[in-house]
Structure 1
């Protein structure tokens, strides 16, 4: 039997149903059982300048712009580390690109408990897969995606089963995600080994308010709380708002950055309200959730994707101006994937200008900024101490880590 819509399903064929029964026996073996779900389209919109990949029309536009899937590639990093651990585990998953393919590519031998119909994809497939794993009684649901995927999994499992997200989306404001795919693998290894450094906490699942986005405002909405694995430095906190009283210092720091812009140098201003302050100081309009280019005091292009940035940069000295995503301290890799590893590599570490309120920096869990570009060499290039503009004539050096 093949489920086309809705819940609850058991799978698309008798083999999946038999596997579900087998999975229940694995769970009773005393060895931890992980359920894996991969959203294969998560993150496709990032480098091509889209704000997500939710919806058929947005996905079609991402493909039209030349976007390629990244989710399986990033999930593979996690699973390869997991496959190298010595701790025993059972892995159950959904068929094909929903988890089975990447698990086998990592050298694991998963049990497939859900096979969707050919015409069932997106949130429906994610939710049905999550329900199959919940019925199998897994110890943890591991999913690869963004905030939309987190919402879909939470809608099914609620707080009954712990979650851990492999960050593969465009925007990841929720607190259920590891800081990088590799850190997800290391955390899972410690979880399987019952390491005392791993705990389970209540974590926010958040997503951007699309109505506010259409009005050019950044606003996130809380969708619920999940039980989620936690380990310091390997799991991010949820996005937070600005700290009360920080506006004046940020305005002054942004105005100073604007005043110090050099003639003939291309400035690429990332998404967010902090960089909008720089554009306001220049008297220029800005794209709140996109990347704009400024040259000699004028905005020469708006809402650019990775390829447009690379073309503009050709033959020009270039600087990147970014803010810090509050709560989990992301510098690159959350909502600004237009700044790809190649863009950052060409600009160089010395060409990055960071602006953030001191209160925001002090409140960051782990006391550092995070980078997750998908390129280990670029992440290493960015790691270390980086200058951050915090106010008028005030800077601090703050640690950056992958």
Structure 2
């Protein structure tokens, strides 16, 4: 490598993901952000970016960060001891998408080596609108909506890819889709996703997520069998709460129960009756602290995430009270096969919890039919994920 420092563009959307734990299903728009903050939401994008930058902490002498003032990057770069230069200053009380785009334009003009950004699909859209395919980018997942292929599977994974790039290791550079959905329709339980463009992403297959697969499960008979298995477990445990996670596979179970379902939220069932709908993380925690509880979840097809994508209501505190032994993971074998051998991923926001969950997990794939499938320890990913 040359002695010239690696120039890293850094953009943090400070409000990314603040609506997730409160079941607001997004953080686009000043009104939603204000509501989330009023309800006690915490800004976590900077903390997630810190996890990524921690992975290159030993390379500080090789890196120079170019970023925006304040929460958009300056505060974190300064706190972590990186050398940095400011390229943009927002005049807004709350940063907007226009600030993300203005920062991206400034970084493009400076010809940075790579842009690291933290946010969700809305942030990716803003950056794609400016940068397109001119400069490599890498996303730190921090938003409620993470459908785009420009994001690493976790903040730490983003940092590991970045470390490889800075050290000049051979890393593939691929085109990745930028996807987004309509948040207003999302809050009504409808997903209207579309592609907005492509960006170049350094790709190391252990660490960069696949674009979410679209469409409904095709094998209805298999889903019926899975639902029958879950309903039997409910009948065997009438005093248990059953947290019903988001996704079409869980939705099918709720249909079989004849219960209204929040497709993109979290509901609570007891004795096969609906107790509460579209719960926030705090309300859900109040329930599970006082009652034996099981959690019914599925994985994101093509990606393998079980926590940290669209289900932030399942907070680390909730998951700890439920316990690994009470997690009922459901998926068709076709859905597992779509992972092409890649391990499942937990990105709960609690690294210790993710490590505790790692290992072989039973997956309910039919009536009284289960398979064991690995949940990744991100410190030591299975070798099969290398290809």
TM-score, normalized by the shorter chain, greater than 0.5? yes
In the other structure, the counterpart of 2:214 is 241
Residue 146 (structure 2) aligned to one of 172, 183, 186: 172
Are the counterparts in 2 of residues 232 and 366 from structure 1 also a CA contact under 8 Å?
no
* Distance across 2 between alignment mates of 1:120 and 1:313: 35
Q: Secondary structure at the match of 1:41?
A: coil
Residue 372 (structure 1) aligned to one of 344, 347, 356: 347
* Distance across 2 between alignment mates of 1:162 and 1:95: 22
Report Cα offsets for 1:36-59 as digits up to 9, x if no partner: 000000011111111110111211
In the other structure, the counterpart of 1:14 is none
* Distance across 2 between alignment mates of 1:177 and 1:235: 6
Alignment partner of 1:283 is 2:229: no
Report Cα offsets for 1:78-135 as digits up to 9, x if no partner: 1122222377122111111000101112221211111121447210100000000000
In the other structure, the counterpart of 2:249 is 274
In the other structure, the counterpart of 2:323 is 348
Are the counterparts in 2 of residues 266 and 316 from structure 1 also a CA contact under 8 Å?
yes
CA deviation after TM superposition for structure 1 residue 366, in Å: 5.3
Residue 111 (structure 2) aligned to one of 130, 137, 144: 137
Alignment partner of 1:325 is 2:300: yes
Counterpart mapping for 1:272-311 below 5 A: 272-311=247-286
Alignment partner of 1:42 is 2:1: no
Are the counterparts in 2 of residues 242 and 360 from structure 1 also a CA contact under 8 Å?
no
* Distance across 2 between alignment mates of 1:373 and 1:58: 23
In the other structure, the counterpart of 1:6 is none
Are the counterparts in 1 of residues 149 and 178 from structure 2 also a CA contact under 8 Å?
yes
In the other structure, the counterpart of 2:57 is 83
Q: Secondary structure at the match of 1:90?
A: strand
Residue 222 (structure 1) aligned to one of 195, 210, 220: 195
* Distance across 1 between alignment mates of 2:135 and 2:309: 26
* Distance across 1 between alignment mates of 2:227 and 2:208: 30
CA deviation after TM superposition for structure 1 residue 218, in Å: 2.7
Question: Gaps (5+ residues) in structure 2?
Answer: 379-387
Are the counterparts in 1 of residues 279 and 313 from structure 2 also a CA contact under 8 Å?
yes
Report Cα offsets for 1:146-192 as digits up to 9, x if no partner: 11100100000011111100111112111111111111111111111
Residue 232 (structure 1) aligned to one of 205, 224, 239: 205
CA deviation after TM superposition for structure 1 residue 364, in Å: 1.2
Number of residues paired by the alignment? 374
In the other structure, the counterpart of 2:169 is 195
Alignment partner of 1:105 is 2:105: no
In the other structure, the counterpart of 2:381 is none
Are the counterparts in 2 of residues 386 and 400 from structure 1 also a CA contact under 8 Å?
yes
Shift in CA distance, 211/40, structure 1 to aligned 2, threshold 3 Å: closer
What is the TM-score when the length of structure 2 is the normalising length?
0.93
Alignment partner of 1:146 is 2:120: yes
* Distance across 1 between alignment mates of 2:93 and 2:78: 24
In the other structure, the counterpart of 2:360 is 385
* Distance across 1 between alignment mates of 2:245 and 2:127: 30
* Distance across 2 between alignment mates of 1:87 and 1:232: 27
* Distance across 1 between alignment mates of 2:318 and 2:298: 17
* Distance across 1 between alignment mates of 2:81 and 2:359: 34
Report Cα offsets for 1:269-297 as digits up to 9, x if no partner: 01111111111111110111110000111
Q: Secondary structure at the match of 1:129?
A: helix
Q: Secondary structure at the match of 2:328?
A: strand
Q: Secondary structure at the match of 2:303?
A: coil
* Distance across 1 between alignment mates of 2:217 and 2:279: 31
